[in-house]
Structure 1
């Protein structure tokens, strides 16, 4: 399997991710066939080449009905949550109300009673069979499929008729899909098991973030039929491309988010949007706020990062095989691009990595308590644990506890420290590490089988006897441990 590094200097969204993966070499035919197998219609795909600040990149766009609109990145989709207002995701970096994006004027504006957050569709209609001022049936709208007229529900599927008289019958089939419905669509598609599982995982992350934002169970979060198309295409599309590229390990830079506010159907919200903020917090995603106006990290983009990332930050060393660029929809002073690197572990990776170093000083724990804390930290996955005698303030004797762990395990190790020691604070820093390449081998001696650790760094090599192996042999033979080490060192270890 290959490794992927996502460089998110311009943020990340669903369509930017798909575009970058296509530019990286994902098979467009596989993507189109996979998406076509889903029981979702009302859209067409446009995959093209664009330039951002003179840099060419891939562009992935979902065109809903007849609206040739810039891709709207599910904010998340249009959310219909039992009468509550739902938010809207404008094209990447554009802070636009869905109604404004669809019409560009105020003809159909709607103002909720002061202090009330009301779903604009419900507020305008309040029912399914509603009237306007002209005969205009929408009951059979299916994009590019039925040969009839293709009515756009705005750039995010928001079709708000308010502020005018309703004088005619206007049947609508605004079905709202719940998470279970969307998961069933994914399961019914002609996709690999891996792509299905990843798409479902991403949707779960989005739904959980939305349920927290709106204070209701995940099962009650619903997605508007037309608005959900963007999210399904982006999320399933990203899963198909990652699977097609055979990505097994993902690195991701800290995300860069904009500043200011974003206008949603339920009002003006600060950036990042509530769902995005929930995903960042729940999954401990590092983020750097920039002074760029607008939203640069969308809920879908954050959910993709949360679902696929194994390590945050760039690898200490990487051999770049290919670079893919995915374009965002808005122009900034700097090129609005997601850069994806297809990388391969080289020989250098065996010698270099990064470790989290966690330290804390303790002056009120016994040796037995320190020993137990050490055991728990090793059980949590720490690479090494040691404590050093120190003299603290007021000349109190104590210990400096030091823990080395993989970056992705630092939170778990910190929890174990707080749980099993008297510490009320820790210091932690990510450090680069140079190490010898290690390999364990079983060798036969006159005493029996012993495990040897062979280490090398270029032309330098070392061999050591693994303690646990030597201890096991000493116990089995009922001989001193030193005898096992002496025999192991005296015999050639071929």
Structure 2
């Protein structure tokens, strides 16, 4: 299982995330070409190597054009621009980026939007963000989504986040660290953090939203065969190496994984098919690992459906609220279960010339006995089928 682990002992920000992931992807030109699909102007991305207390890493600086067209470095500061969530979602939706990149970026933005709305006491539609609307945050968040799709991990984990103390100056004046938006994001997602003796901000709202969206669990580095590490250097002086460290590797498992997930269940006998379908869409968009319906008979022999949702513990509350909002049920049950997962890794397969020489990603699964099987990714097969006009079943049969 391909795993990413974010070591946030130096905190996390948007540009630190970009730097660390860029070191793992290793293709800056490709990355800049992908960012151009946003079709926005007025910025310049500078990617360079920088050292922090003896640790060399990648520093990403998004320089923004001011009113006099002079480029100014945004760094880790809170830059103000008047954009609301609808503006940003439209910008992303209208781009030529991949659909899953768009969805992930919008999910991250929405976490910041909800937090900003709560802090300012306004409906989400009326909030003009003091950070999320800034050009650098758009690049940071969309860029993160692009790089995560490229890495395509099966699992993302993180350490407990370290945050500093003291005060920082931002658009709304001087604020205590952690700033209110960061606190709301971490609280809403149940992300653990602790304060350390560093007198500055270490977790920006953008960084908080990124890790709150990506990470499935928080703790120590899981057992894995390490394949690489990326360092994303920040701009602040914290007294030690200010670098986000991201590991990539294969989780060590011989088919005896003890991962724990939760099952949410409820029985529904008076909802329409449209309502049930929409409920499932919302649950999956909100981060459920799986959701499905099973036909059942309830008391008095009434035909009904049992809704089953698989999720992480931190998602239980959010998913329950969706179920209560979208269905007619008046109660749910949930409980933890253990699951066993086979070892897996993502590999690429080159297709023959008659399929335009395309490459598709496949999950390579290994059984405890050492047998391996390849399972092609549906999205990749669909794209090849569209480009070549070949049946998708024919493309699947090429995988061996």
Task: Give me the TM-score of the superposition, normalised by structure 1.
Answer: 0.52
CA contact (8 A) 1:177 1:225 kept: no
Equivalent residue runs for 1:373-412 within 5 Å: 408-409=312-313, 412=316
Residue aligning to 1:37: 37
Equivalent residue runs for 1:307-456 within 5 Å: 307-348=213-254, 350-353=255-258, 355=260, 408-409=312-313, 412=316
| Structure 1 residue 228: Cα displacement | 1.6
Give me the whole-angstrom Cα distance separating, in 2, the residues matched to 1:436 and 1:235.
33
Residue aligning to 1:364: none
| Structure 1 residue 275: Cα displacement | 0.6
Equivalent residue runs for 1:234-253 within 5 Å: 234-253=140-159
**2:121 aligned with 1:215:** yes
Give me the whole-angstrom Cα distance separating, in 2, the residues matched to 1:214 and 1:223.
10
Give me the whole-angstrom Cα distance separating, in 2, the residues matched to 1:269 and 1:17.
24
| Structure 1 residue 194: Cα displacement | 1.0
Q: Deviations over 1:230-279 (max 9, x none)?
A: 11111111111111122332111111100111222323211111110100
**2:2 aligned with 1:20:** no
Gaps of 5+ in 2: 267-287, 289-309, 321-329, 332-337, 344-366, 370-400
Equivalent residue runs for 1:37-436 within 5 Å: 37-65=37-65, 69-73=72-76, 75=78, 77-78=79-80, 176-223=82-129, 228-348=134-254, 350-353=255-258, 355=260, 408-409=312-313, 412=316
Could you say what secondary structure the match of 1:263 adopts? strand
Residue aligning to 1:9: 9
Q: Deviations over 1:372-416 (max 9, x none)?
A: xx9979xxx9xxxxxxxxxxxxxxxxxxxxxxxx99326749x99
CA contact (8 A) 1:11 1:256 kept: yes
Gaps of 5+ in 1: 80-175, 358-373, 382-405, 421-432, 440-455, 459-494
Q: Which has the larger radius of gyration?
A: 1
Give me the whole-angstrom Cα distance separating, in 1, the residues matched to 2:341 and 2:130.
54
Give me the whole-angstrom Cα distance separating, in 2, the residues matched to 1:52 and 1:6.
18
Residues 436, 312 of structure 1: CA spacing in aligned structure 2 closer, same or farther, 3 A cutoff?
A: closer
Residues 55, 195 of structure 1: CA spacing in aligned structure 2 closer, same or farther, 3 A cutoff?
A: same
| Structure 1 residue 219: Cα displacement | 0.7
CA contact (8 A) 1:354 1:407 kept: no
Could you say what secondary structure the match of 1:45 adopts? strand
Give me the whole-angstrom Cα distance separating, in 1, the residues matched to 2:99 and 2:265.
36
Q: Deviations over 1:411-449 (max 9, x none)?
A: 749x99xx99xxxxxxxxxxxx9x99899xxxxxxxxxx
Give me the whole-angstrom Cα distance separating, in 1, the residues matched to 2:264 and 2:244.
42
Give me the whole-angstrom Cα distance separating, in 2, the residues matched to 1:437 and 1:59.
37
Give me the whole-angstrom Cα distance separating, in 2, the residues matched to 1:265 and 1:324.
32
Task: Give me the TM-score of the superposition, normalised by structure 2.
Answer: 0.64
| Structure 1 residue 221: Cα displacement | 1.3
Could you say what secondary structure the match of 2:41 adopts? coil
Could you say what secondary structure the match of 1:189 adopts? coil
| Structure 1 residue 341: Cα displacement | 0.7
Residues 353, 190 of structure 1: CA spacing in aligned structure 2 closer, same or farther, 3 A cutoff?
A: same
Give me the whole-angstrom Cα distance separating, in 2, the residues matched to 1:313 and 1:407.
18
| Structure 1 residue 222: Cα displacement | 2.0
Could you say what secondary structure the match of 1:247 adopts? coil
CA contact (8 A) 1:27 1:244 kept: no
Q: Deviations over 1:272-293 (max 9, x none)?
A: 1111010011010000111111
CA contact (8 A) 1:45 1:61 kept: yes
CA contact (8 A) 1:252 1:312 kept: yes
Equivalent residue runs for 1:477-488 within 5 Å: none
